[in-house]
Amino acid sequence: MDLFLSLLSFLLHLFSVNCDTDPDAFVDVKVDRYFMPTRCPREVQSEDFVRYHFNGTLQADGKKFDSSHDRSTAIVSQVGSGNLLTGLDRGLQGMCVNERRHIFVPPHLAFGTVGAGGVIPPNATLVYDVLLLDIWSTDDTVQIRTLYKPEKCVRASATSDFVRYHYNGTLLTGQAFDSSHRRNATYDTYLGQGELIPGMEEGLLGMCVGERRVVIVPPFLGYGENVSGTTVPPQATLVYEVLMIDVFNSKDNVTITATDVPEHCSRRTKTGDFIRYHYNGTFQDGTPFDSSYRRNSTYNTYIGLGYVIRGMDQALQGLCCGEKRRVVIPPHLAYGESGVENLIPSWTVLVFDIHVIDFHNPKDSVEIRTVLKPPNCKETSEANDWIQYRYNCSLMDGTLLYSSEQYDSPSVTTLGVNAVISGLETGLSGMCVGERREVVIPPHWAHGENGASGVPGSAVLLFELELVKLQKGVPDGFMFVWLDDGGPDPLFPAMDLNGDKQVPLEEFSEFIKLQVQEGKGRLRPGVDQESIIRDMFYNQDSNRDGKILEEEVQLKDDTVPQRDEF
C-alpha cells in the first residue's frame, strides 16, 4: 500500500511537472497527496460538505497567510457551490477523510493579478496544506452496518421500547468522543420520544439483543452546529458502534418462550400452591446473574401470594411437576428501576429457565394409586397390624432417596404406632398382601418444612410400595386377644390340658399355641412368640412358683375382667 501511495504521489508530481514546463499555459491546481489513510470508504465529490483543517502559505516565500488552527475550529464548507476559492474547490475533489494534501493553487484560480487585502500579493500561487476531517451530503441518510446479528432474535427494538445499549462514539476520523463503557453503565432510553438525536432514533430500530451495529449519522441528523459536550465539533458526522443489551416495552407481559412439559401431567400449579424449583437466571444477552443450582437447593415459595417478584408469580402458574419453562420477565414486573445492588442493573429484563421439582398444596392429602391389586384381596392392613413391605422412596424428579432394596430383607413395622411418617402410615393402610401402590406424600404428611437427613425441606415424596406379609395385630397394650367372644369360660379347666389342676409354663405355652393354631386367639405379631408367652405366663403366676393354679386365674380375671388378656 505504501508503495502504491508513493507511486501515486510520484505520478501526480510528474503530471504537474509536465504542466510547469509550459509557462504560457494556465496551469491547473496541483495536488500532492502526501498522506493517504489505509481505508477510504468515500471520496469528496461536488456538492459534498466537508470539514477540514488547513494551513495556507505562499509558495513564493512560505509565508502563512491563513490557518484554520488560528480560528481554533475546523472549516465547514460545501464543495463546488462557489463558496470556496475555485482552486480549493478543485483541489479538494476526491479527497478521503484523514488524507493530507498539499494543494497548489495558481493565481488565476485564486486571487489573480490583484491579490487580496495586503495579505496575498498579486500573481501569488497559494499552497494549502489540508487535512480532511469529515464528508457528508444533504442526500445522506443514516447508514447502518450490521456487524453481528444473533441467530435467535425473539424481538427487535421498536418505537416506544426501552433500550439499554453500549456504544463507542467516534468521529469519521476515528477520534473517540464518547463511550458508555467509560461510565461502566449501559445507555438507557426510550425510543421514539425525542430523547436521542434523530439519527440514533433511526439507527437503533430493529435491533435484537446481542446485535452489534455501526450507525453512521450525518451531522444534520446528529448534533448539527450545536456541540454536544466538548468533544463533538460542530457539523460532525457521528459513527456509533452499538451493542444492544436489553429491549423491552412497558406494555410487555411475562412471556413463556419455551416449555418442556412431561408426558404425564395430571395437575398444574395454581395460586396458593407451594413449589420447589430450580432455576438459572440470565439477562437477555445471556449473562448469568443467579442460579439455584449453585446453592445446591431448590428455590421454594408459595405461588401467587406476592412472595416473589410479580412476574415470577405469573410465570409459576400452570406448571406441571417436572416441567421446564423459559420465561422472560420485563423489569416493571421484576426489579424495575432500583434493580438489585451489584447484581441486577435498573430496568433489566430477566430470563429464567425454570425446572419444577415438585409442588403441593397445604390442603393436599396423601394420594394413593393402586398399581397392582391381587384378585383375592380380603384381609387388609390396618392399625396394630404387623407388616412386612418393600418400598422405594424418591423425590418427584425421580431422585431415589431410600429403598428397602438396600437391605437384605423387606422392612417391617407395626401400623398405628407412629413408627413411620404419617403419610406412609396412610399409604400402607388398607393393603392386602401382594398389592403394589404408588403413594404421593406432601411434606406436611412427611418430613415437613425442615426435611430430614437426605430429604430436602418441603419435599413431596413418592413411595412405591409392595405389601409382602401381613400379620393381624392386637390392640395397643395387649399381647394376646381372643378372636371369638372372650375365650373358653371357665378358662382354667381349658388351660389345664392334662387335668392335674396346675398349669406349668410348658402346658400354658402348648395351650396358647393351640388357640392360635385353631384361630381362636392371636398373639401380638412381630415379637418373639416364646418370650411373649413367657411374659404372659409370669403375669398369671402371681406367686412365682412356676405354675398357674385356678385361684391365680380367677384373681386376674377379677382385676381386669373386660380385657381379653391373660
* Cα–Cα distance for residue pair 556/166, rounded to 1 Å: 94
| E strand or H helix that includes residue 360 | strand 350-360
The residue range among 16-24, 81-89, 379-387, 491-499 that interacts with Ca ion, by the rule CB under 5 A, is: 491-499
Interaction between residue 69 and ligand NAG (CB under 6 A)? yes
| Site of grid cell 422392612 | 411
Interaction between residue 314 and ligand NAG (CB under 6 A)? yes
Interaction between residue 543 and Ca ion (CB under 5 A)? yes
Interaction between residue 541 and Ca ion (CB under 5 A)? yes
Interaction between residue 131 and ligand NAG (CB under 6 A)? yes
Interface of this chain with ligand NAG, residues 242 to 271, rule: CB under 6 A: 242-243, 253-254
Q: Among 37, 198, 206, 224, indicate the residue that binds ligand NAG (CB under 6 A).
A: 224
| Site of grid cell 403375669 | 539
| E strand or H helix that includes residue 203 | helix 198-203
Q: Indicate which of ligand NAG, Ca ion, none lies near residue 543 (CB less than 5 to 8 Å, by partner kind).
A: Ca ion
Q: Indicate which of Ca ion, ligand NAG, none lies near residue 183 (CB less than 5 to 8 Å, by partner kind).
A: ligand NAG
* Cα–Cα distance for residue pair 15/536, rounded to 1 Å: 133
User: Is the preceding peptide bond at 490 cis, omega within 30 degrees of 0?
Assistant: yes
SS3 (DSSP) at 53: strand
| E strand or H helix that includes residue 179 | strand 176-179
Q: Among 113, 266, 517, 559, indicate the residue that binds ligand NAG (CB under 6 A).
A: 113
* Cα–Cα distance for residue pair 259/269, rounded to 1 Å: 15
* Cα–Cα distance for residue pair 57/39, rounded to 1 Å: 29
Q: Among 32, 129, 188, 510, indicate the residue that binds ligand NAG (CB under 6 A).
A: 129
Residue at shortest CB range from ligand NAG: 224
Q: Shortest distance, CB of residue 407 to Ca ion, whole angstroms?
A: 44
Q: Shortest distance, CB of residue 381 to ligand NAG, whole angstroms?
A: 15
Please count the residues of the chain.
566
* Complex with ligand NAG: residue 344 or 354, whichever CB lies closer: 354
Name every residue whose Cβ is closer than 8 Å to that of residue 383 and which is 6 or more positions away in sequence.
415, 416, 429, 473
Interaction between residue 435 and Ca ion (CB under 5 A)? no
Q: Indicate which of Ca ion, ligand NAG, none lies near residue 353 (CB less than 5 to 8 Å, by partner kind).
A: ligand NAG
Q: Indicate which of ligand NAG, Ca ion, none lies near residue 463 (CB less than 5 to 8 Å, by partner kind).
A: none
Per-residue binder mask for ligand NAG (CB under 6 A), 29-68, x = binder: ------------------------xxx-------------
Interaction between residue 101 and ligand NAG (CB under 6 A)? no
Q: Indicate which of ligand NAG, Ca ion, none lies near residue 517 (CB less than 5 to 8 Å, by partner kind).
A: none
* Cα–Cα distance for residue pair 520/430, rounded to 1 Å: 23
DSSP string, 450-511: T-BTTB-TT--EEEEEEEEEEE----TT-SEEESSSSSSSSSHHHH-TT-SS-EEHHHHHHH
Burial letters for 500-539: b for 16+ Cβ neighbours within 10 Å, e otherwise? eebbebebbbebbeebeeeeebbbbbeeeeeebbeebbee
Q: Show the cell assigned to 190.
A: 426510550
Q: Among 500, 506, 518, 530, indicate the residue that binds Ca ion (CB under 5 A).
A: 500
* CA 495 remoteness from chain centre: 77
CA distances (Å), origin 267, targets 273, 350, 408, 524: 11, 27, 37, 43
Q: Indicate which of Ca ion, ligand NAG, none lies near residue 498 (CB less than 5 to 8 Å, by partner kind).
A: Ca ion
Q: Which residues of the chain form contacts with Ca ion (CB under 5 A)?
A: 496, 498, 500, 507, 541, 543, 545
Q: Which residues of the chain form contacts with ligand NAG (CB under 6 A)?
A: 53-55, 69, 113, 122-123, 129-131, 166-168, 179, 181, 183-184, 224-226, 241-243, 253-254, 278, 280, 293, 295-296, 314, 324, 353-355, 390-392, 403, 405, 464-466
